[in-house]
Amino acid sequence: EAKESGRNCFKFYAQEMGRRIEQYVEMENALRVALEQQQFEVYYQPKVNLCSGRFSGVEALVRWNHPQNGMVQPGSFISLAEKTGLIGPIGEWVLHTACVQARQWHDMGFDEMTVAVNLSAIQFDQQDVAALVTRILAETGLAPRHLELELTESMLMGDSDSMLAALKDIKAIGVTLTLDDFGTGYSSLAYLKRFPIDVIKIDRSFVRSITTDPNDASLTRTIVLMAKSLKMKTVAEGVETQGQLGFLNAIKCDDVQGFYFSKPVPAAALTEMLRHQQNRPVLPRGAEP
């Protein structure tokens, strides 16, 4: 009896495993097809500088325009792309596309726009990222100071000697390095000392509750103060309300990004927003919002 049910259990387990492997292989193939058929798209979310009240740059965020499933968010495919190594070619495509787009905005007269591109640890294992960045900047004619690369704290852990070397090479090009999702990883102050980081991006999980949770408010204030004393800039992500904006303005965070201003949008929609703010800043300059 017990043996029998054990066997059934195993049979069920094997079937389940088989189904999962099948799904994985299917998804992997779908990602390859997506690359070949250019089903990926880059969306852009603006950042607003609290000093000028104007858009200072954008973050490039990849989307997968799947022929059957519609627009797929990166949360559902980036980790698979990392496991299969496809993040290499996908990341390269995003970087190239974002640099071409930033160059176009410059040509239209929006000449201070920066573009921030997310990098994955796997890209550093696969290739010489500094060489890749150098080549793409040359191909697109974008000035290095207009490109920003976003890293996460976990990337600075592992084999950090080779990461340090790679980041120094990237810094030497003149590109800005940003530590994304700050506060969610180990947030070791040693990273900030060891790695050539220019910008700290405060994670959405702090920003969400800065107006309701005094601990998050004081942590955020402390991160901004610490960054200033280290001569780093700060960006707050996930800003959704006027209250959050007011707090971030009061503590002199440099830039803000979030749905309060705009969701990530296709390039054409962002161009419209840039045109619209030419005559009218997004926020009144220096005024308390």
How far is 209 from 268, CA to CA, in rounded Å? Answer: 33
Taking CB within 5 to 8 Å according to partner kind, which of Mg ion, ligand C2E, none is near residue 258?
ligand C2E
How far is 130 from 144, CA to CA, in rounded Å? Answer: 12
Per CB under 5 A, contacts with Mg ion among 4-23 are none
Nearer to ligand C2E, 6 or 266 (CB): 266
Residue 206 and residue 219 in contact, taking contact as beta carbons nearer than 8 Å: yes
β-pair partners for 179:
151, 200
Q: Is 150 in the site for Mg ion (CB under 5 A)?
A: yes
Please give the structure tokens belonging to residue 93.
């495509």
Contact pattern for Mg ion over residues 236 through 275, marking x by CB under 5 A: -x--------------------------------------
The site that binds ligand C2E (CB under 6 A) totals a number of residues, namely 24
Q: Is 88 in the site for ligand C2E (CB under 6 A)?
A: no
Pick from 118, 146, 119, 14: which is nearest to 60 by CA? 118
In sign, the C-alpha dihedral spanning 222, 226, 228, 234 is negative
Q: Is 94 in the site for ligand C2E (CB under 6 A)?
A: yes
Taking CB within 5 to 8 Å according to partner kind, which of ligand C2E, Mg ion, none is near residue 200?
none
Q: Which stretch binds ligand C2E (CB under 6 A): 22-30, 87-95, 125-133, 211-219?
A: 87-95
Q: Is 62 in the site for ligand C2E (CB under 6 A)?
A: yes
Nearer to Mg ion, 181 or 216 (CB): 181
In sign, the C-alpha dihedral spanning 166, 171, 176, 181 is positive
Give the DSSP H or E segment for 82: helix 78-83
Q: Which of 30, 34, 44, 45 binds ligand C2E (CB under 6 A)?
A: 45
Q: Which stretch binds Mg ion (CB under 5 A): 25-33, 50-58, 93-101, 232-240?
A: 232-240
Q: Is 118 in the site for ligand C2E (CB under 6 A)?
A: yes
The nearest distance, CB 4 to ligand C2E, in angstroms, is 47
How far is 69 from 96, CA to CA, in rounded Å? Answer: 25
The nearest distance, CB 194 to ligand C2E, in angstroms, is 22
Q: Which of 82, 148, 153, 181 binds Mg ion (CB under 5 A)?
A: 181
Residue 196 half-sphere exposure toward CB, CA atoms < 13 A? 18
Q: Is 179 in the site for ligand C2E (CB under 6 A)?
A: no
Q: Is 78 in the site for ligand C2E (CB under 6 A)?
A: yes
How far is 99 from 140, CA to CA, in rounded Å? Answer: 6
Alpha-carbon distances of 148 from 45, 113, 257, rounded to whole Å: 14, 11, 15
Please give the structure tokens belonging to residue 82.
């990392």
How far is 276 from 82, CA to CA, in rounded Å? Answer: 38
Q: Which residues contact 176 (CB under 8 A, 6 or more apart)?
A: 114, 145, 147, 148, 149, 198, 199
Please give the structure tokens belonging to residue 72.
């797929």
Q: Which stretch binds ligand C2E (CB under 6 A): 17-25, 117-125, 187-195, 274-282?
A: 117-125
- Binding stretches for ligand C2E (CB under 6 A): 45, 61-62, 73-75, 78, 87, 91, 94, 118-120, 150, 180-181, 204, 237-240, 258-259, 264
- Binding stretches for Mg ion (CB under 5 A): 118, 150, 180-181, 237
